[in-house]
């Protein structure tokens, strides 16, 4: 149950009523609204209090992410880049930060082509322990340097809550990857950080489970969450993963949060990236995150799916044309 409080109201009696009912509760201040989330619903649904402006009993299990109480779309601001507005925002950069020359070259190229955010992995979750794991903190430092040089805010993946101090220093947006999509301690820490979060769908998660992971971040008083569809694991082998455009649209229809699509990982092959990216934009994605490398054939990770700067420049031209046809910009 969601209690939306009157501005500045004293809710001490409401607190007492919820406590005496045996329910649990949490006070939040999200999107300029004072909220009290209480559960389970059956213990609090009859509570009436003068501090309450509106009481909402969402039909969905994700109360805070649901558009049943917040109908206006949320716009996530990443250092002046607004995700969820009219513009289709594109984050681009290498799968992994390998060295300064590779990163600086890529950052300048994607900026020139029209990207709004710089992506790049400093810490890399890999299936094999013998694969390149990233440069770690040094990679974060290089991302910050490239950001200062180009003016592109940084989005990069965090894997360990113990690294949060470094990400607060060097990054502008946290990425929670598919392999950590249900790492609940990490989700809570990301929420407590107050930083914008790009939340990828786990490769085996349903749409409901995906949105519920966002609920962990929102319940820590952090409303700056972007949901990212990156492909799920199915029986199909012609692509690396199956990009779930229908699931992405379903999430967009059920929540107020902006939606991102990652066409690189489900493609697995660079020749498929353009089509998947354009399909996602046509279906209503607010953001794309695309892998770009100056010499993909020499990349230390995901070499087959990374675009060259020239291929990315062409993609940006196509995204802009499609966005314009849809009444948007890019």
All structural domains of the chain with their residue ranges = 2-56, 76-325
- What backbone phi and psi angles, to 5 degrees, belong to 317? -60, -40
pLDDT at 127 over 90: no
Q: How far is CA 119 from CA 43, 70, 110, 286, 292, in A?
A: 45, 30, 10, 16, 9
Facing residues of 52 across strands? 5
DSSP three-state, residue 6: coil
Record the tokens describing residue 140, joined without a space: 């974060």
pTM for the whole structure: 0.96
**Residue range 181-239, pLDDT digits in tens:** 999 999 999 999 999 999 999 999 999 999 999 999 999 999 999 999 999 999 999 99
Record the tokens describing residue 274, joined without a space: 């353009």
Facing residues of 36 across strands? 3, 27
Q: How far is CA 130 from CA 127, 133, 280, in A?
A: 9, 8, 33
The mean of the pLDDT values for the chain is: 97
pLDDT at 130 over 90: no
Q: How far apart are CA 100 and CA 96, in angstroms?
A: 11
pLDDT at 125 over 90: no
Is the separation of the CB atoms in 169 and 146 below 8 Å?
no
Q: Work out the percent of the chain whose per-residue pLDDT is above 70.
A: 100
Pick the CATH number of 76-325 from 3.90.850.10, 3.20.20.70, 1.10.10.10, 3.40.50.11540: 3.20.20.70
Is the separation of the CB atoms in 264 and 273 below 8 Å?
yes
């Amino acid at each position: 149950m969601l209690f939306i409080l009157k501005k500045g109201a004293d809710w001490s009696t409401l607190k007492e009523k919820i406590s005496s009912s045996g329910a649990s509760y949490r006070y939040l201040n999200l999107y300029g609204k004072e909220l009290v989330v209480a559960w389970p619903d059956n213990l609090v649904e009859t509570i009436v209090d003068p501090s309450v402006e509106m009481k909402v009993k969402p039909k969905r299990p994700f109360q805070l992410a649901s558009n049943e109480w917040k109908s206006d779309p949320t716009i996530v601001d990443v250092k002046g880049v607004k995700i969820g507005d009219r513009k289709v925002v594109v984050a681009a950069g290498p799968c992994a930060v390998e060295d300064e020359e590779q990163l600086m070259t890529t950052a300048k190229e994607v900026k020139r082509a029209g990207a709004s955010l710089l992506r790049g992995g400093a810490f890399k979750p890999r299936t094999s322990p013998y694969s390149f794991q990233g440069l770690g903190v040094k990679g974060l430092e290089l991302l910050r340097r490239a950001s200062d040089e180009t003016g592109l805010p940084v989005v990069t993946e965090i894997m360990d809550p113990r690294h949060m101090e470094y990400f607060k220093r060097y990054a502008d947006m946290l990425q929670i990857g598919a392999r950590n999509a249900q790492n609940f301690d990490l989700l809570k820490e990301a929420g407590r950080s107050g930083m914008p979060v790009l939340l990828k769908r786990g490769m085996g998660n349903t749409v409901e489970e995906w949105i519920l992971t966002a609920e962990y971040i929102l319940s820590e008083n952090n409303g700056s969450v972007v949901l990212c569809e990156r492909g799920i694991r199915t029986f199909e082998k012609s692509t690396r993963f199956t990009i779930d455009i229908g699931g992405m649209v379903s999430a967009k229809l059920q929540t107020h949060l902006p939606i991102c699509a990652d066409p690189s990982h489900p493609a697995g092959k660079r020749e498929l990236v353009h089509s998947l990216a354009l399909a996602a934009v046509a279906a209503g994605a607010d953001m794309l995150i695309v892998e770009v490398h100056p010499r993909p054939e020499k990349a230390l990770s995901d070499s087959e799916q990374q675009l060259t700067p020239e291929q990315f420049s062409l993609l940006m031209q196509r995204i802009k044309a499609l966005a314009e046809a849809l009444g948007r910009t890019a």
